Amino acid sequence: MTSLHRLGLALGGALLAVAAWAALTPVTFASREELFEIPQGTWARRMAGAKVEILPARIDLTLGVHDVLLLRNLDDVPQVFGPTVLMPGQSFRLPFEVASSYSFACTAHLSGQMTIVVAPQPDSPWERLRWRATALWNAVT
Amino acid sequence: MSRWFAAIVLAMFWLAPAHADETVLKAGVFDPPRTAPEFTLAGSNGAGLTLSDYRGKVVLLGFGFTQCKAVCPITLGTLAQAQKKLGDAARDVQVIYVTVDPENDTPSQLKTYLAHFSPAFVGATGSAAQLAAVRKDYGIAAEKVAGPDGAYTHSSFVYLIDRAGRLRALMPFAHVADDYVHDVRLLLAEP
């Protein structure tokens, strides 16, 4: 067996091991919260004419992985944030238990709407593998 | 050794995430909670309706209009179902529905409409300016849709206000009656 063959086998084995880990290990994180914060001074920057968009019009969550939306207002004034008004220093924690698409009227967005898409929990090995591959792809692109 | 390996693989395969904590509200929670913005409007009961008059009860506060064909009937139907499931505890709960349509929703119109769901529900209306001020305080979006039927698009969630009059949580649209029952029971059980 040539060294090239050995290298190929080692690489193949390593890839297989990574794929097995990605498929068999449950997808978990230390926190299931997806945090969005309004930084201090946001209102002042808006008043100065800056275009500040903190909350995307669409947020993707995954049940059992990241299924809690956490909004926090660190600014000095009340802010319309997502579906509601948050006072200075106040946070809003919204858990999701059902995979679906949720639409909220949101005056902070030009479209007047904010959508939260909650995907099902990646339960099977194939779904875990696909979830991790998608997350990796999103991270590098 | 191989048995251990098989056990680890099986554990990794079947390990389920932790169950939802039953002591946590299913609605979105405000932290810290603030006092629910006060308002006084015309009530469907024929008298003035002041929010703070309901201190001591858990208030479920929704916004909509009586000609709504999509969101409001579902929300109010769900709230009526929750009220029934709560049994005697429902005496300590008040549903208040504030209209976004001051042109059509008079107190008597609101009373007739809400009675289809529950005679215990109360509606509130006022001038366009009064209602706009309440919506602003609560971050409610409402806009009249161009067209002959006078429909509105509006925020579809329901606020949960505790016995002390604090704005505790926001239940998004499409939650089932059991979720309301769960959260209302938690709020009622608080000292």
CA distance B99 to B72: 10
Judge whether A114 and A103 are in contact, CB under 8 Å. yes
The pTM is what? 0.80
**Nearest beta carbon to residue A93 from set B20, B28, B141:** B28
Encode pLDDT of A62-118 as tens digits. Answer: 998 989 999 999 999 888 877 788 999 999 999 998 888 887 766 666 666 788 899
Q: Which of B21, B52, B55, B54 is nearest to B39 (CA)?
A: B52
Which residues in B lie closer than 8 A to residue A91 (C-beta atoms)? 30-31
Distance, CA of A80 to CA of A92 (rounded, Å):
12
**pLDDT tens column, B162-187:** 999 999 999 998 899 999 999 999 99
Give the pLDDT confidence score for residue A84 in this predicted structure: 85
Contact B30 A91 (CB under 8 A): yes
Residues of chain B with pLDDT under 50: 1, 8-18
- The CATH H-level superfamily of B24-189 is Glutaredoxin (3.40.30.10)
- Is the ipTM, as predicted for this complex, more than 0.90? no
Most confident of A27-31, A32-36, A106-110, B3-7: A32-36
CA distances, A61 to each of A102, A127, B156 (Å) = 11, 15, 21
* A69 contacts B157? CB cut-off 8 A: no
